[in-house]
């Protein structure tokens, strides 16, 4: 990290821009000046000054590629404004997704005491995440050594990744697998190594289960009393006793798991289960666990 004792103080706004610059070029492998311009509403002159400042503070981290006409990550890279861990990057992605499309109001005073319980973060190799993310951004393949729970030893897979998925417990990579000849989900933490390869031959638009959205309808457990059902319906914001949520077809199993709905939901004790899946026949083809 930057030794602030040896450098003049950096204003908060500029530090934010330098952090974005560093994180983007590190994780995606490249950076365009207009990312700073569009993200912070600054001029090209100011963006160029930021690049110059960053290069003086963190020499050897980035360089301008005249052929690609963009800044690219250089080796060896030593983070100056971030930790460079996979956990940090994935947490940023999660927060960005959680806040997408909603107004965020920052409360300065009178905050209540709050404790947020989240599952323990599963370790992810930063070099693996870096290679996978660069493959997604650049439209390239990646060769991974993957430890499946269905076999005792790791196996090599040639993948064309196109998205990262957080299922509430762990991170996955959505990718076309040449081994299985289909689009699948791979647990990021089980990738032991990853290496960038050729330009992807498979187009992400071919992943029909990813681009198709289906309605998941949830209701109160039929074993509850009328007043108990009313309480559950209010709790989940149901309308006419139904909560309908649009989910990517490929992610239906994960959504049901997060909602604690399994195939035995109707047979479980009503007070324990509380909610059940209403349109299981429609979703049978997507319910793979």
Which tens digit of pLDDT belongs to each residue from 202-241?
999 999 999 999 999 999 999 999 999 999 999 999 999 9
pLDDT at 43 over 70: yes
Query: Distance (Å, rounded) from C-alpha 61 to C-alpha 74?
Result: 5
Taking CA 135 as the corner, what is the angle to CA 81 and CA 285, rounded to the nearest 5 degrees? 120
Please state the pTM of the whole predicted model: 0.76
Is residue 3 within 8 A of residue 58, CB to CB? The reply is no
Q: Is the dihedral of CA 169, 175, 181, 187 positive or negative?
A: negative
Query: Distance (Å, rounded) from C-alpha 52 to C-alpha 66?
Result: 16
Is residue 219 within 8 A of residue 237, CB to CB? The reply is no
Cα separation values, 119 from 116, 145, 209, Å: 10, 25, 27
Q: What is the pLDDT of residue 186?
A: 95
Mean pLDDT score of the chain: 87
- Return the CA Rg of the chain: 23
Q: What is the pLDDT of residue 2?
A: 56
> Which phi-psi region, left, alpha or beta, contains residue 73 (left: φ > 0; alpha: ψ -120 to 50)?
beta
Q: What is the pLDDT of residue 95?
A: 67
pLDDT digits (tens, 9 = 90+) for 66-92: 888 888 888 788 889 888 888 888 877
- Residue 155's SS3 state is strand
Tell me 239's DSSP state: B
b/e sequence 154-165, b meaning 16+ C-beta within 10 Å? eeebbbbbbebb
- Quick one: average pLDDT of 16-25? 88
- Quick one: average pLDDT of 165-188? 92
pLDDT at 100 over 70: no
Q: What is the pLDDT of residue 5?
A: 39
Spell out the residues 6+ positions from residue 68 whose beta carbon is closer than 8 angstroms to its own: 30
- Residue 256's SS3 state is helix
pLDDT at 173 over 90: yes
- Both tokens of 114, joined, read 């709050």
Is residue 68 within 8 A of residue 12, CB to CB? The reply is no
Query: Distance (Å, rounded) from C-alpha 257 to C-alpha 264?
Result: 12
pLDDT over 70, % of the chain: 91
Query: Distance (Å, rounded) from C-alpha 31 to C-alpha 134?
Result: 12
Which residues lie across from 164 on neighbouring strands?
Answer: 173
Spell out the residues 6+ positions from residue 73 whose beta carbon is closer than 8 angstroms to its own: 25, 26, 29, 30, 61, 62
- Quick one: average pLDDT of 25-37? 86
Q: Is the dihedral of CA 263, 249, 206, 176 positive or negative?
A: negative
Which residues lie across from 135 on neighbouring strands?
Answer: none
> Comparing C-alpha atoms, which of 231, 162, 233, 257 is closest to residue 202?
162
Residue given tokens 């909610």 in the structure block: 275
Query: Distance (Å, rounded) from C-alpha 171 to C-alpha 165?
Result: 6
The length of the chain in residues reads 289
pLDDT at 247 over 90: yes
pLDDT at 286 over 70: yes
Q: What is the pLDDT of residue 105?
A: 46
pLDDT digits (tens, 9 = 90+) for 150-164: 888 999 999 999 999
């Amino acid at each position: 990290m930057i030794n602030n004792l040896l450098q003049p103080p950096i204003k908060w706004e500029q530090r934010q821009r330098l952090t974005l610059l560093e994180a983007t070029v590190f994780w995606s492998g490249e950076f365009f000046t207009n990312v700073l311009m569009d993200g912070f509403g600054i001029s090209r002159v100011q963006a160029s000054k930021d690049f110059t400042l960053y290069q003086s503070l963190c020499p050897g981290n980035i360089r301008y590629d005249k052929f690609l006409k963009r800044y690219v990550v250089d080796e060896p890279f030593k983070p100056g404004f971030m930790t460079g861990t996979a956990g940090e990057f994935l947490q940023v992605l999660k927060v960005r997704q959680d806040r997408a499309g909603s107004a965020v109001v920052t409360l300065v005073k009178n905050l209540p005491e709050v404790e947020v319980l989240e599952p323990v973060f599963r370790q992810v190799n930063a070099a693996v995440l870096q290679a996978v993310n660069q493959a997604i951004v650049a439209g390239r393949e990646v060769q991974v050594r993957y430890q499946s729970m269905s076999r005792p030893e790791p196996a090599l897979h040639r993948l064309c990744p196109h998205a990262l998925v957080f299922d509430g417990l762990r991170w996955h990579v959505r990718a076309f697998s040449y081994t299985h000849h289909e689009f699948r989900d791979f647990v990021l933490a089980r990738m032991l190594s990853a290496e960038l390869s050729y330009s992807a031959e498979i187009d992400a638009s071919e992943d029909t289960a990813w681009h198709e959205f289906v309605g998941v309808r949830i209701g109160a457990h039929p074993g509850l009393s009328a007043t108990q059902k009313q309480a559950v319906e209010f709790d989940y914001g149901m309308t006419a006793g139904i909560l309908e949520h649009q989910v990517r077809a490929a992610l239906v199993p994960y959504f049901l798991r997060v909602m604690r709905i399994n195939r035995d939901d109707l047979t479980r004790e009503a007070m324990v289960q509380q909610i059940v899946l209403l349109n299981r026949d429609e979703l049978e083809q997507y319910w793979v666990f």
